[in-house]
Amino acid sequence: MKFEISNNSPLEIETNWLVVGIFEEAEFSESLQELDEKLEGSLSRVQERKDLTGKLGELTILADVPQLSAERVIVVGLGKHDKLTIGSLSKAYTTAFRHLATKENQSLVIMVPEGASSALGEGHSIERLVDVATVACSRQNIYSTEQDRYEFENVLLCGVSDFEVNQNALEKGLILGEAVNLTRELVNRHPDDLYPETFAQRAADEAADIHLQGEIFDQDMLEDEKMGALLAVSRGSDRPPRMVVLKYNGGGKNAPTIGLVGKGVTFDSGGLSLKTSAGMITMKSDMGGAATVLGAITAIAKLKLKVNVIGVMGLVENMTGGSAYKLGSVLTSRSGKTIEIHNTDAEGRLVLADALAYAVDQKVDKLIDLATLTGACVVALGEDIVGAFTNDQEWCDELKTASQKVNEEVWQLPMHDFFAEQLKSEFADCKNIGSRWGGATTAAKFLEQFVDDVPWVHLDIAGPSYAESSSAHRDSGGTGVMVRALVQLAADSC
């Protein structure tokens, strides 16, 4: 898909669609007045009939506009002007782009809303428009024989001032959109297509394209690394485990290193603590944390950010074969800490325990892990908010600030020491679950035991990483949540 910035009048450019934004309860801007005059008052008349209100996400189509070089006009409601945010801009234009992307071979001219740059910052509106257009055109039903979404042939953005700043924003928006789409695609692939070996190969292919350093740990190498917790989870499956480690050194030898660790359970049956059919149907998505790490580190590398990042992705299937790990089993993790198993469906934290310990051994300066870890976090925060847990408030605040900049919702949850009391075992150093109460925090307290004193944030993305249903501005399936936030955090750390 081709994006360009144009200084020509949008009213004089031949295109399939002229995309225009309008605010609620506001007078027409100068550019809208010019358009209305060109259309001999059509916009004003539609507005007078209350068919054009500017409410957020409202779409109004003018299909017959012979006065323009464009074939059709689509007017996008942006909501109230004083409420404009990156989030509202994204929702409005994603709704429009998703509608327009249902037809092949479409070209667009976008009149960038006046005041967007001053409200959101120079370049930010361009970056997000390109980002969401890239995501909106991607096909979520990748296995359907009938295609229902098409990339635009070309997109021109008109009405911007600083060309150099906005050109850079255009390029960044495309990279971010592609990274989100990579994560979404991986989450949506079915478990006979995406499993530890094929995920690892895809990661290797992505890394090779952008010259990322990397290594894939197979079964023997994982045994040499003494990853007893991760290996135990994989024992019930015929698919052997993998761990992918990718390194990006954009900050130089002496720059601090951020470790990104992702849970990659490519299918989770629950093991011997078997899930119900309803609980298992979306468990192809239980590798969302690893997919997010891969999407983020590829974007960071393509953007050439001056930061050092290590991405660690632990990849397993949790199945019920004859060698499956059992309730009552005691595992020895990479760190040497022993773990008594009270539930084989609390497997993601076991994978992360060894992956986090590995990252710590690589001398990272700060850590973030991402995992579709607990239903308890979804109960607490719903399906649209990421839960955050930390051992270092300053580092967590940096993550939350980055998330706010890109409109990804994160809410910090408590980490009081008394939650760890639930994890005490009579037969080992700890259990892998606590009681039924405070499950998201007890899971985080379990992970905390494997990060030493490294500043660390655990992100439970169980709710927002996978949408159960579609809406006007979002497909069901993988969402790519937190890819943008991690890239923003890396940029802020430069």
This model's pTM is above 0.75: yes
CB 366 within 8 A of CB 399: no
116 — pLDDT class (breaks 50, 70, 90): confident
Structure tokens at 42: 């059509």
Mean pLDDT of 464-487: 95
103 — pLDDT class (breaks 50, 70, 90): very high
Give yes or no: residues 99 and 166 share one domain: yes
Which range (6-20, 160-174, 219-233, 361-375) has the least confidence? 160-174
Give yes or no: residues 101 and 9 share one domain: yes
Give yes or no: residues 16 and 73 share one domain: yes
The chain-wide mean pLDDT, for the chain, equals: 96
275 among known catalytic residues: yes
Range of the domain at 175: 2-183
CB 47 within 8 A of CB 55: no
Q: What is the CATH number of the domain that holds 29?
A: 3.40.220.10
CB 257 within 8 A of CB 310: yes
Distance between CA atoms of residues 5 and 349, nearest Å: 46
Q: Is the pLDDT of residue 476 over 80?
A: yes
Q: Is the pLDDT of residue 153 over 80?
A: yes
Q: What is the pLDDT of residue 122?
A: 72
The reply to whether 18 falls in a domain is yes
The reply to whether 189 falls in a domain is no
Which range (136-140, 164-168, 220-224) has the least confidence? 164-168
Q: What is the pLDDT of residue 119?
A: 76
Give yes or no: residues 236 and 323 share one domain: yes
Q: What is the pLDDT of residue 322?
A: 97
Which range (11-20, 215-224, 467-476) has the least confidence? 467-476
Please tell me which residue in 128, 284, 349, 431 is annotated as part of the active site: 349
Give yes or no: residues 245 and 117 share one domain: no
Distance between CA atoms of residues 263 and 266, nearest Å: 9
Q: Of 157, 183, 209, at which residue does a domain stop?
A: 183
Give yes or no: residues 78 and 219 share one domain: no
474 among known catalytic residues: no
332-371 confidence digits (pLDDT tens): 999 999 999 999 999 999 999 999 999 999 999 999 999 9
51-73 confidence digits (pLDDT tens): 999 999 999 999 999 999 999 99
Number of structural domains found in the chain = 2
Give yes or no: residues 151 and 201 share one domain: no
Give yes or no: residues 176 and 199 share one domain: no
The reply to whether 82 falls in a domain is yes
Query: 426 vs 254, which has greater pLDDT?
Result: 426
Give yes or no: residues 159 and 58 share one domain: yes
| Residue type at position 114 | E
Instruction: Name the pairing type of β-strands 330-332 and 338-340.
Output: antiparallel
Q: What is the CATH number of the domain that holds 209?
A: 3.40.630.10
Mean pLDDT of 472-480: 94
Mean pLDDT of 195-217: 96
CB neighbours (10 Å) of residue 235? 18
Give yes or no: residues 84 and 6 share one domain: yes
Q: What is the pLDDT of residue 140?
A: 87
Q: Is the pLDDT of residue 488 over 80?
A: yes
The reply to whether 346 falls in a domain is yes
Give yes or no: residues 62 and 101 share one domain: yes
386 — pLDDT class (breaks 50, 70, 90): very high
Q: Is the pLDDT of residue 466 over 90?
A: yes
Q: Is the pLDDT of residue 117 over 80?
A: no
CB 126 within 8 A of CB 112: yes
Please tell me which residue in 38, 80, 149, 275 is annotated as part of the active site: 275
The reply to whether 152 falls in a domain is yes
447 — pLDDT class (breaks 50, 70, 90): very high
Q: What is the pLDDT of residue 369?
A: 99
Give yes or no: residues 87 and 219 share one domain: no
- Alpha-helix residue ranges (DSSP H) falling in 189-244: 196-209, 219-224, 228-234
Q: What is the pLDDT of residue 78?
A: 95
77-93 confidence digits (pLDDT tens): 999 999 999 999 999 99
Distance between CA atoms of residues 116 and 438, nearest Å: 42
In the chain, the percentage of residues whose pLDDT exceeds 90 is 90
Query: 367 vs 254, which has greater pLDDT?
Result: 367
3-state SS record for 122-155: CCHHHHHHHHHHHHHCCCCCCCCCCCCCCCCCEE
Distance between CA atoms of residues 239 and 193, nearest Å: 12
436 — pLDDT class (breaks 50, 70, 90): confident
Q: What is the pLDDT of residue 159?
A: 86
Q: Is the pLDDT of residue 150 over 80?
A: yes
How far CA 256 is from CA of 248, 308, 459, in Å, comes to 12, 6, 21
